[in-house]
Amino acid sequence: MSNFKLVGNKVPRHDAWAKAKGEQLYSDDYVMPNMLYGKVLRSKYAAAILRKVDTSKAKALPGVAAVLTAEDVPLNEDITKFGQMRDVGGGFEGLYKVLAHGKIRSKSEPIALVAAETEEIALEALKLIEVDYEVTEGVFDPREALKEGAYVVSSEDQANLIMETKVEKGNLEAVWEECDLIVENDYCTSPHDHAYLETEGGMAWLDENGIITLRVGTQVLEHYRTIAKVLKRHHNQVRNMSIPMGGGFGGKEDITVETYLALLTVATRRPVKMVWSREESLEAHAKRHPEYLHYKTGVTKDGKILAQQASIVMDGGAYTYLTPWVQMYSTINGTGPYRIENQECVSRSAFTNNTFSSANRGFGATQVNFAYERQMDEIAAKLNMNPYELRLKNVLKNGDSLSTGFIPEGHIALTELLQALREKMEKTPKPERLPDGRKVGRGIAIGQMSYGRLCFLHDSSRVAIRVELDGSVTLRAGVPDLGGGQASVLAQICGEELGLPIEDVHPFIMDTHLTPLAGTTTATRQLYMSGNACLVATRYVKDILAKKAATLLSCQPHELTFYDRKIFYTNDPQRSLPFVTVVGHVSNDGELLFHEGQFNAPFSEVPDLTNIKGRILPDMTYTAHGVELAVDEETGQYELLRIVAAVDCGKAVNRNSCEGQMEGGAIYNQGWVMEDLAWDKGITRNNSFATYLIPTALDAPEIETVLLESGGGLGPYGAKGVGEPADNDICPAIINALRDAIGVSFFNTLIKPQDILKKLKG
Amino acid sequence: MKNFNYVKAPDVRGALAFLDREGDKACVVAGGTNVMVDIRAGKMNDLTLVGISDIAALRGIQEEDGKICVGALTTISELAASTLLAKQAPALYMAAKVFADAVTRNSATIGGNIAYASPAADTAPALLALKADVLIESEGGKRRVPIAEFFTGVNKTLLQAGELITALEFIPNPYSAFFKIGLRNAMAISVATAACAVKLAANGVIEDCAVALGSVAPKPLRAYEAEKILIGRKLDDDTVKAALEAVGAAISPIDDTRATGEYRREVAPVLVKRALLKASGICVHESCKDGEGRIQHG
């Protein structure tokens, strides 16, 4: 493992210069001749009955090419799919409604689509559509929604309950009495936007064969199947291409503009472009599930956790989308990365008339991470115990089972991570105050988050490798690139195996007609899944090359090394052939240097949701974060002074990307503490970046990243995924640090200076 | 979105002619950082935008006859880069330093910030503390309005149809300072701001002072009662305490998405205290020393 040329280094990504120089095109940069502009009319009310939509005035406006409502959609209702290759059933796939009819479930629910010659005309046409609403009361808190007699959000389902799940271990009731201390708290997490710079958008057109062709920013190319179903076409009549995205973070996992664009382009037989405004994006696309969590933990006086019970109510918002899957993550991670013999986590999710909730970096693991790590510091304070010691005493170790009884194959590095974090954080003693008088606080948190999708989705990925006659390589994979280097890392793995520099490998990605289906760029799965598929494909052609080279160099294939565009006899590097020469020989033999490699994740069946057991996810990544901050006690403002972000990434395949994910994740999670959508009865009051305040460069502290490389992951070279695990711990660590600084506790994620000042004033 | 006309004024005379002709339908646009946002939001419709950004005569900072004159088209970036202001009018300099973000500062102008009359305009409390005059021209002539009289309400000023702000003028005061609370360190509309300017006698007695606040009332304002308490006294704890109580009486903050009125009521006196001490050369807070009017974020 020590002879890596590309793997493990800070390899510049293949697309780095294009991005740095502004040459990379995003969804809004594309135009086509004869193109129309598409816009969506959205509901004015969060809860209403849609009585009638009159589009006649809009249709009569010069320059309007099409106005569509639910009646114009060939199949207006389908089930929500997220790229999985099988129908899972069991309540996991909810209703996907293209355009509204019946009950309006949220403000911004789409009612009609317009395509017009200019963006201005399209907007004008929206104003001319007359909608007759019967406004209803609505329900906006999932706890209220689950009460008997609550307003029913949907006209298709009879109740607001989406799903109920439970995981348990040991015998809670028998243990409470043995505990020296029982700590019970209620926590609450706020909705959170993905806040990518590039809003949802793309374009669609019919090609010369009448194929519906799309180029949209999406994390899930496999939505082409839903587009085909909605348009009542065969799957092979839709070609879906993505573009390198300006961020996804889960927000482009659900279908966004795809069906709207396909409907409008089919209706007008012209190319159509649609890009959502920031307001539209903030109001209409999914948010991280707000959760209401109750924790009860029993410990001995020396800090051993004997029992922990968590119960969660999740706000699913207006439609199901990914709620059941997110709920699985919240449920099985509910009690945290701790060895607790007696534990239980019960979750219920409910419809409300809020913007729908769905995937957001961390996918349900983040909400419980906030709660269990706040709970740990509350316990530590009550026991007068050091927060590191309390965690070290209880963390999972190799051989321990997770909440579902499953014992992970991958390494569990929590002890090492906590020790590394402590070393960094305590390198200098904590000052009581800064010279300006501000109080200093330090806080930590640890996290557990999976990489790879739920095992009952039967996830797979494919990557194709073709060696060209000049020795360069074309790598093809249906991998959407969100900016996380998802494509570049595949080129790096391929180059490493074949002994080629990264620039010799061209990754051609994300086109359902041309690239093998590699699955979604979600669930921190691409390095794990497509990285492994890339290894399969590359090693297949490498074997062919090695056999030929062995003949030419009079040795055995396993005695060869691929390095520096050469293949040589390992024990005598003088005996070598240029890579391209061996390629020429193989080609002369009439053999194609091509392979499509496949990698399958471990498969399982849908578990019993009332008692979840077994392998639910392939493996876990573990993190430990520390925060140092200063609080201004006169104004309630606080400043992050430093962050230490530690992760066991198994193997840092691209060190730059790994550090980038850890830094980005830290600031993303920092934002959760300050970002406020200001939901008010289903209305998003803060619907622009002038009011929905995310951290800026001036708000980000120095971040020190610690990459532990245990080699104990299931990805290529023992790597684990880090994209979502990076978005754990900081929020609870900040709030734990506030407690350390000024001695006040917060039980919700959103904290403003005014909240801090109020608590300080008592 | 394109529901406006646009004319470009070559010089002040041309601008005044356009403004006279269009009357109430005219809207002066310089950096456009407020106007374009309002047009997109549908808050301004069918106006004639009179573009003045090319009028070089309205741009720049000059010191003449013991006064500093800042042309209305001077960008916030130029204020924040001015060594003259850093020395002779730190309140305005500090306000410019924490105004929005670098991109906005490059477009936004001091005249626009004043004319738009947001209660949260960051240059307003600084100019109030410096007792600036607003220099105004129209076809009918010129006039000069003390800035304390200029603001009349939320987005409302004494400016009449046909009038153009040409400059802000004030007597330099090195003993001035500005502080702001926003919800983050850049691109944050102020939750509360305060600026103070003082004139100290050799024995430390305050001979004159001005205390101004932003984001805590329908318009940026002076706390006259607080000033009266301060004048003639030394800046001791009792005096400060009494002055801050008077500040509380002068403001009428509201709840909005940024903060509660209650919070603004708590922090406005803190900002005034820090601005007073900084202006007087008594620095008790480390964050004062970097020459920026930002207190750490939240």
- Residue A42's domain is classified under what CATH number? 3.90.1170.50
CB A343 within 8 A of CB A336: no
pLDDT value, residue A298: 98
A633-692 pLDDT, tens per residue? 999 999 999 999 999 999 999 999 999 999 999 999 999 999 999 999 999 999 999 999
B183-224 pLDDT, tens per residue? 999 999 999 999 999 999 999 999 999 999 999 999 999 999
CB A439 within 8 A of CB A571: no
Which residues on chain A are in Cβ contact (under 8 Å) with B185?
696, 698-699
pLDDT value, residue A723: 97
Mean per-residue pLDDT over chain A, rounded:
96
Beta-sheet pairing, B67-71 with B164-170? antiparallel
pLDDT value, residue A1: 39
- Beta carbons of A632 and B286 less than 8 Å apart: no
pLDDT value, residue B288: 45
> Residue A691, SS3?
coil
Q: Which of A565, A600, A635 is the last residue of a domain?
A: A600
Residue A168 carries which DSSP code?
E
> Residue B207, SS3?
strand
Instruction: Answer whether A636 touches B (CB < 8 Å).
Output: yes
B30 and B96 within one domain: no
Torsion angle in degrees (nearest 10) through CA of A725, A728, A730, A734:
-170
Instruction: Answer whether A434 touches B (CB < 8 Å).
Output: yes
A49-80 pLDDT, tens per residue? 999 999 999 999 999 999 999 999 999 999 99
Which residue is closest to B295 within chain A, CA to CA?
A637
Residue A507 carries which DSSP code?
E
Instruction: Answer whether B46 touches A (CB < 8 Å).
Output: no
Instruction: Answer whether B255 touches A (CB < 8 Å).
Output: no
Residue B46 sits in which domain range?
4-51
Of the partner residues B258, B270, B298, the one whose CB lies closest to the CB of residue A638: B298
Which residue is closest to A694 within chain B, CA to CA?
B184
Instruction: Answer whether A754 touches B (CB < 8 Å).
Output: yes
Give the other-Cβ count within 10 Å of A263's Cβ: 26
B3-57 pLDDT, tens per residue? 899 999 999 999 999 999 999 999 999 999 999 999 988 899 999 999 999 999 9
Question: Is residue B296 in a domain?
Answer: no
Extract the runs of DSSP E, i.e. beta strands, from B124-250.
133-138, 141-146, 151-153, 156-157, 164-170, 176-181, 192-200, 206-214, 221-222
Which residues on chain A are in Cβ contact (under 8 Å) with B118?
none
B183 and B203 within one domain: yes
A338-397 pLDDT, tens per residue? 999 999 999 999 999 999 999 999 999 999 999 999 999 999 999 999 999 999 999 999
Which residues on chain A are in Cβ contact (under 8 Å) with B2?
120
Give the other-Cβ count within 10 Å of A141's Cβ: 16
Q: Which of A585, A600, A615 is the last residue of a domain?
A: A600
A266-312 pLDDT, tens per residue? 999 999 999 999 999 999 999 999 999 999 999 999 999 999 999 99
CB A526 within 8 A of CB A479: yes
Instruction: Answer whether A124 touches B (CB < 8 Å).
Output: no
Which residue is closest to B34 within chain A, CA to CA?
A690
A615 and A538 within one domain: no
Of the partner residues B37, B181, B286, the one whose CB lies closest to the CB of residue A635: B181
pLDDT interval class at B1 (50, 70, 90)? low
pLDDT value, residue B290: 46
Instruction: Answer whether B262 touches A (CB < 8 Å).
Output: yes
Question: Is residue B297 in a domain?
Answer: no
Q: Which of A600, A618, A634 is the last residue of a domain?
A: A600
CB A704 within 8 A of CB A217: no
- Beta carbons of A693 and B188 less than 8 Å apart: yes
Q: Which of B170, B204, B224 is the last residue of a domain?
A: B170
B22 and B62 within one domain: no
- Beta carbons of A437 and B285 less than 8 Å apart: yes
- Beta carbons of A639 and B297 less than 8 Å apart: yes
Instruction: Answer whether A695 touches B (CB < 8 Å).
Output: yes
CA atoms within 13 A on the CB side of A642: 14
Instruction: Answer whether A62 touches B (CB < 8 Å).
Output: no
pLDDT at residue B297 is higher than 60: no
B164 and B63 within one domain: yes
Instruction: Answer whether A120 touches B (CB < 8 Å).
Output: yes
pLDDT value, residue B163: 98
B190 and B118 within one domain: no
CB B129 within 8 A of CB B176: yes
CB A65 within 8 A of CB A304: no
A586 and A503 within one domain: yes
Which residue is closest to A752 within chain B, CA to CA?
B298
pLDDT value, residue A665: 98
pLDDT interval class at A84 (50, 70, 90)? confident
Question: Is residue B245 in a domain?
Answer: yes
Residue closest to B193 by CA, chosen among B149, B169, B223, B152:
B223
| A209 CB burial (10 A radius; 0-12, 13-18, 19+) | exposed
**Token pair belonging to A302:** 């020396």
Question: Is residue B298 in a domain?
Answer: no
Beta-sheet pairing, A638-648 with A702-708? parallel
Question: Is residue A43 in a domain?
Answer: yes
Task: Specify the CATH number for the domain of residue B223.
Answer: 3.30.390.50
CB A606 within 8 A of CB A88: yes
CB A167 within 8 A of CB A345: yes
The Cα A747–Cα A724 span in angstroms is 23
Q: For chain A, state the CA radius of gyration.
A: 27
Task: Look up residue B116 and give its amino acid.
Answer: Y
Residue A697 carries which DSSP code?
G
B205 and B266 within one domain: yes
| A758 CB burial (10 A radius; 0-12, 13-18, 19+) | middle
- Beta carbons of B183 and A752 less than 8 Å apart: yes
- Beta carbons of A632 and B101 less than 8 Å apart: no
Extract the runs of DSSP E, i.e. beta strands, from A121-218.
130-135, 161-169, 181-188, 201-206, 212-216
Q: Into how many domains does chain B fold?
A: 3
Overall residue count recorded for chain A in this entry: 762
A577 and A635 within one domain: no
Task: Specify the CATH number for the domain of residue A491.
Answer: 3.30.365.10
- Beta carbons of B184 and A693 less than 8 Å apart: yes
The Cα A545–Cα A534 span in angstroms is 16
A701 and A558 within one domain: no
The pLDDT > 90 percentage for chain A reads 95
- Beta carbons of B257 and A674 less than 8 Å apart: no
pLDDT at residue B245 is higher than 90: yes
Q: Which residues, including other chains, have CB under 8 Å from residue A17's CB and lie 6 or more apart?
A: A23
B162 and B71 within one domain: yes
The Cα B103–Cα A742 span in angstroms is 36
Of the partner residues B191, B266, B296, the one whose CB lies closest to the CB of residue A630: B296
Instruction: Answer whether B240 touches A (CB < 8 Å).
Output: no
pLDDT value, residue A9: 86
A296 and A389 within one domain: yes
Question: Is residue A615 in a domain?
Answer: yes
Q: Which of B170, B192, B211 is the last residue of a domain?
A: B170
pLDDT value, residue B253: 98
DSSP lists the bridge partners of residue A444 as A626
| A584 CB burial (10 A radius; 0-12, 13-18, 19+) | middle
Instruction: Answer whether A633 touches B (CB < 8 Å).
Output: no
A622 and A593 within one domain: no
A251 and A113 within one domain: yes
Report pTM.
Answer: 0.96
B94 and B194 within one domain: no
> Residue A152, SS3?
coil
B53-84 pLDDT, tens per residue? 999 999 999 999 999 999 999 999 999 999 99
The Cα A553–Cα A569 span in angstroms is 7
Q: For chains A and B, what is the number of CB pairs under 8 angstroms?
A: 90
Q: Please compute the mean of the pLDDT values over residues B267-296 and round it to a whole number.
A: 73
pLDDT value, residue A214: 98
Instruction: Answer whether A534 touches B (CB < 8 Å).
Output: no
B135 and B114 within one domain: yes
DSSP lists the bridge partners of residue A184 as A296
A267 and A206 within one domain: yes
B44 and B70 within one domain: no
Chain B 182-201, residues with CB within 8 Å of chain A CB atoms: 183-189, 191
pLDDT value, residue A557: 98
pLDDT value, residue B41: 87
- Beta carbons of B263 and A761 less than 8 Å apart: no
Q: Into how many domains does chain A fold?
A: 3
pLDDT interval class at B282 (50, 70, 90)? confident
Beta-sheet pairing, B156-157 with B151-153? antiparallel
The pLDDT > 70 percentage for chain B reads 94
B46 and B74 within one domain: no
Q: Please compute the mean of the pLDDT values over residues A438-461 and round it to a whole number.
A: 98
The Cα B123–Cα A716 span in angstroms is 56
A498 and A390 within one domain: no
Which residues on chain A are in Cβ contact (under 8 Å) with B266?
754, 757, 761
Q: Which residues, including other chains, have CB under 8 Å from residue A571's CB and lie 6 or more apart?
A: A559
CB A516 within 8 A of CB A475: no
Beta-sheet pairing, B4-8 with B47-51? parallel
Residue closest to A213 by CA, chosen among A201, A197, A198, A202:
A202
The Cα of A750 is separated from the nearest Cα of chain B by a number of Å equal to 11
The Cα of B2 is separated from the nearest Cα of chain A by a number of Å equal to 8
The Cα A107–Cα A356 span in angstroms is 10
B152 and B101 within one domain: yes
The Cα of A701 is separated from the nearest Cα of chain B by a number of Å equal to 12
The Cα of A274 is separated from the nearest Cα of chain B by a number of Å equal to 17
Which residues on chain B are in Cβ contact (under 8 Å) with A697?
186
DSSP secondary structure letters along chain B? ---EEEEE-SSHHHHHHHHHHHGGGEEEESS-TTHHHHHHTTSS-SEEEEE-TT-GGG--EEEETTEEEEETT-BHHHHHT-HHHHHH-HHHHHHHHTSS-HHHHHH-BHHHHHHHT-TT-SHHHHHHHTT-EEEEEETTEEEEEEHHHHEEETTEESPPTT-EEEEEEE---SSEEEEEE-SSSSS---SEEEEEEEEE-TTSBEEEEEEEEESSSSS-EE-HHHHHHHTTSB--HHHHHHHHHHHHHH------SS--HHHHHHHHHHHHHHHHHHHTT----GGGGGS--BPP--
A727 and A666 within one domain: yes
Question: Is residue B234 in a domain?
Answer: yes
pLDDT value, residue A645: 98
pLDDT interval class at B293 (50, 70, 90)? low
Write phi, then psi, for B273 (nearest 5 degrees): -60, -45
The Cα A312–Cα A295 span in angstroms is 9
CB A226 within 8 A of CB A96: yes
DSSP secondary structure letters along A312-344? EEEEEESS-TTHHHHHHHHHHTTT-SB--SEEE
Which residues on chain A are in Cβ contact (under 8 Å) with B297?
637-639, 698-699
pLDDT at residue B165 is higher than 60: yes
The Cα B17–Cα B22 span in angstroms is 9
Q: Please compute the mean of the pLDDT values over residues B236-261 and round it to a whole number.
A: 97
CB A496 within 8 A of CB A4: yes
Which residue is closest to B2 within chain A, CA to CA?
A120
CB A744 within 8 A of CB A759: yes
Instruction: Answer whether B259 touches A (CB < 8 Å).
Output: yes
- Beta carbons of A635 and B270 less than 8 Å apart: yes
CB A395 within 8 A of CB A337: yes
Question: Is residue A172 in a domain?
Answer: no
A680 and A727 within one domain: yes
Of the partner residues B2, B285, B286, the one whose CB lies closest to the CB of residue A120: B2
Question: Is residue B29 in a domain?
Answer: yes
pLDDT at residue B298 is higher than 60: no
Question: Is residue A752 in a domain?
Answer: yes
Chain A 659-678, residues with CB within 8 Å of chain B CB atoms: 674, 676, 678
Question: Is residue A680 in a domain?
Answer: yes
Instruction: Provide the b/e sequence for A412-421 (b: ≥16 CB within 10 Å).
Output: bbbbbbbebb
pLDDT at residue A704 is higher than 70: yes
Task: Specify the CATH number for the domain of residue B116.
Answer: 3.30.465.10
A472 and A445 within one domain: no
Instruction: Answer whether A693 touches B (CB < 8 Å).
Output: yes
Q: Which of B125, B155, B170 is the last residue of a domain?
A: B170
Q: State ipTM.
A: 0.93
Of the partner residues B187, B260, B262, the one whose CB lies closest to the CB of residue A696: B187
Write phi, then psi, for A65 (nearest 5 degrees): -100, -30
Instruction: Answer whether A756 touches B (CB < 8 Å).
Output: yes
Which residue is closest to A674 within chain B, CA to CA?
B298
CB A351 within 8 A of CB A317: yes
pLDDT value, residue A90: 85
Which residues on chain B are in Cβ contact (under 8 Å) with A638?
296-298
Residue A548 sits in which domain range?
16-24+460-600
